[in-house]
Amino acid sequence: MIECDDCLGGFHLGCLKPPLRKVPDGEWICGFCERRRKGEVLEMPRPPEGKKLRRTAKEKLLSSDLWAARIERLWKEPDGSFWMRCRWYMIPEETAVGRQPHNLRRELYRTNHSSDIEMESVIRHCSVLNPKEFSEANNEGDDVFYCEYEYDVRWHSFKRIADINDDDDEEENNGRTEKDEEWKISKDTGCETDDDSENEDVAAESTSCKHPTHELAANSRKGRAFGLHKIGIKKIPEHVRRHNQTELEKAKATLLLATLPKSLPCRNKEMDEITSFIKGAICDEQCFGRCLYIHGVPGTGKTMSVLAVMRSLRSEVDAGRMKPYCFVEINGLKLASPENIYKVIYEALTGNRVGWKKALNCLNERFSDGNRVGKNQPCVLLIDELDLLLTRNQSVLYNVLDWPTKPRSNLIIIGIANTMDLPEKLLPRISSRMGIQRLCFGPYNYHQLQEIISTRLKGIDAFQDQAIEFASRKVAAMSGDARRALEICRRAAELADYRLKHSPTSSCSMNASSKGKCSVGMPDIEAAIQEVFQAPHIQIMKTCSRLCKILLVAMVHELYRSGVAEITFEKLATTVFSLCSSNREPVPGWDNLLKVGCKLGECRIILCEEGVKRRLQKLQLNFPSDDVAFALKDCPELPWLSKYL
């Protein structure tokens, strides 16, 4: 038999007129659908008289009378009933944008909405396949569905599942990361990460969404498992489960940059401003020309603050206190080219992947006529590392920043970058759109850094107060970067942990440390600072030749000036010549400069494109600019360098 890709009706190959010998490759549409597409009014064949018309599970599912879900956890309640945590799938009609022309008939979206329901509501197994599996599916039966995207039911945005899995892999490689959901929801004691391949897709009747007993009834209580173990999960050995972390181990874990802090001290004012900007823009019916530019040096909590605001607004939307809106988050660093932003935005809004030119046209249409797609829901677009969208003719920034100015676009843009004067560097027609509302995240002073570190370490007795103060003062004097301060403290905790575990009186020290009596002191912080700031690349910068130093400073100077990380060799040479001549330094020849550039490229202090482009070869610093500033600020042989850092 063959199935029509439009109405999903089944046909015998031999009964078709003309009959088909084999199933054709690609899409096949039945004669009825073909004629209907041409506009003919058709009467579909009636089922034989006397037979009761019965709808299949697939038909019910595709008309929202049944739901597909993916079982993520199973357990047995004390009363003997079996329960499961399931994650729902949705049909395209149930999303905010509705069914779109590119949707397949059997397409489902995996959502981020989970419920705990009784196993009795499960009717039967169905297969939800990824695009590759779906294209290779053969004789899989009727309950087979296609799923390529995850749909965020709160933000009404789409994300390709393959990308989500990539991100998860990255996070796993980077160590333990707390997920978005865990910010608000307390973690079950027995809930370890699930093995994807073991999860089951089932068709279930939508019964109760949340059961009051589920918090109590997880299959592990107070660290002891009972009843069913989760399917596909290896039992964690008791000695690992029971391992009591020492104070230092707790400190190391909480100071990891990947750990989401429970609160963001010292940024209340900024977060209030962002909240009122978004609320104002969403409530304003016209939603005209809304754009907020956030700037500040690295590690000042810009990204974290915006994301924290979005989380708290999400709970207001959930509680019905705010109009729903969709949220799309983009990081310039993750785009292969600035133009790709159109593709990414379009994909997030519609779950459809097209080339960037087509995406640009569709977005232009959407934002100039707000009613077309998305039921005119407001959309908040966060563009982190906005400066990376800068192109030679600035067209990407122009196009993106032009959308919110359209009367019915309902678009709100929040742009984040490091450079304060990015709007001024842009063409006037762009800066007039971007530079109206700005918010500056200043570097943290030592009091603030101290508060940030102490808040993170609340309840963990691992650090002496002077040690935290010392680290905060050091970082505040250099950059005011919370990321650096946290890194230094975490490294100090590691050093202290190592010292304790390897000291001759190791066992008694461990007892002491677990009681919290042994703390990270000033010498550990001092050693960590030495390590962070005496890193090999900083040593190289400090000890390299005069011309190398001038070249590095010229790169930083250009970076500050243009806001763009890459610079051509030609432009860099011009800057070096002008720095040298205005500071009475002998102006180097092109060949010398090239030699120095190659040397820095060889030791990966800078990254170089391949040399065939000659003067147009692009160069970029491989380390943060403040490392160059730290290494060369007080250079005795070239004191004038500090003017440019």
3-state secondary structure of 10: strand
Give whichever of 189 and 454 is closer to ligand ATP, judged by the CB atom. 454
Of how many residues is the chain composed?
645
Of the ranges 85-93, 157-165, 295-303, 487-495, which one interacts with ligand ATP (CB under 6 A)?
Answer: 295-303
Count of helix runs (H) and strand runs (E) in the chain = 23, 20
Binding footprint of Mg ion, residue count (CB under 5 A): 1
* Omega within 30 of 0 (cis) for the link into 92: no
Q: Return the DSSP state at 324.
A: -
CA dihedral (549, 554, 555, 559) in degrees, to 10, reads 140
Give whichever of 227 and 265 is closer to ligand ATP, judged by the CB atom. 265
Give whichever of 299 and 404 is closer to Mg ion, judged by the CB atom. 299
Pick one of 23, 209, 257, 440: the residue that binds ligand ATP (CB under 6 A).
Answer: 257
Pick one of 117, 225, 264, 528: the residue that binds ligand ATP (CB under 6 A).
Answer: 264
640 HSE (CA, 13 A, CB side) = 10
3-state secondary structure of 89: strand
Would you count residue 302 as binding ligand ATP (CB under 6 A)?
yes
Q: Which of residues 192-231 bind Mg ion (CB under 5 A)?
A: none
- In a 10 Å sphere around its CB, with 0-12 CB exposed, 13-18 middle and 19+ buried, how is residue 640 labelled? middle
Of the ranges 1-9, 297-305, 315-323, 351-359, which one interacts with Mg ion (CB under 5 A)?
Answer: 297-305
Q: Which residues contact 256 (CB under 8 A, 6 or more apart)?
A: 175, 176, 490
Element (H, E) at 212: none
Distance of CA 422 to the CA centre of its chain: 24
Give whichever of 23 and 257 is closer to ligand ATP, judged by the CB atom. 257
Of the ranges 164-172, 246-254, 480-488, 564-572, which one interacts with ligand ATP (CB under 6 A)?
Answer: 480-488
Q: Please check whether residue 78 is in contact with residue 211, taking contact to mean a CB–CB distance below 8 angstroms.
A: no
Q: Please check whether residue 289 is in contact with residue 327, taking contact to mean a CB–CB distance below 8 angstroms.
A: no
Pick one of 131, 227, 232, 265: the residue that binds ligand ATP (CB under 6 A).
Answer: 265
Distance CA 518, CA 251 (A): 13
- How much of the chain is helix, strand and coil, in % rounded to 5? 45, 15, 40
Q: How far is the CB of 178 from Mg ion (least distance, A)?
A: 17
Q: Which of residues 423-442 bind ligand ATP (CB under 6 A)?
A: none
Of the ranges 192-200, 299-307, 392-400, 428-436, which one interacts with ligand ATP (CB under 6 A)?
Answer: 299-307
Give whichever of 432 and 454 is closer to ligand ATP, judged by the CB atom. 454
**Distance separating the N- and C-terminal Cα atoms of the chain:** 73
514 HSE (CA, 13 A, CB side) = 10
Q: How far is the CB of 384 from Mg ion (least distance, A)?
A: 5
Q: How far is the CB of 437 from ligand ATP (least distance, A)?
A: 18
Give whichever of 115 and 419 is closer to Mg ion, judged by the CB atom. 419
Pick one of 36, 483, 537, 599: the residue that binds ligand ATP (CB under 6 A).
Answer: 483
Of the ranges 263-271, 355-363, 517-525, 541-549, which one interacts with ligand ATP (CB under 6 A)?
Answer: 263-271
Could you say which of ligand ATP, Mg ion, none residue 488 binds, taking C-beta under 5 to 8 angstroms by partner kind? Answer: none
Q: How far is the CB of 8 from ligand ATP (least distance, A)?
A: 47
Distance CA 432, CA 424 (A): 9
Distance CA 544, CA 616 (A): 25
Pick one of 482, 489, 538, 645: the residue that binds ligand ATP (CB under 6 A).
Answer: 482
Give whichever of 281 and 388 is closer to Mg ion, judged by the CB atom. 388
Would you count residue 479 as binding ligand ATP (CB under 6 A)?
no
Q: How far is the CB of 266 from Mg ion (least distance, A)?
A: 16
Binding footprint of ligand ATP, residue count (CB under 6 A): 19
Q: How far is the CB of 486 from ligand ATP (least distance, A)?
A: 6
Would you count residue 298 as binding ligand ATP (CB under 6 A)?
yes
Pick one of 114, 303, 395, 464: the residue that binds Mg ion (CB under 5 A).
Answer: 303
CA proximity to 552, closest of 491, 485, 635, 481: 635
Q: Which residues pair with 331 in a beta bridge?
A: 384
CA proximity to 330, closest of 383, 380, 291: 383
**Where on the chain is the footprint of ligand ATP (CB under 6 A)?**
257, 261, 264-267, 296, 298-304, 418, 452, 482-483, 486
* Positions that interact with Mg ion (CB under 5 A): 303
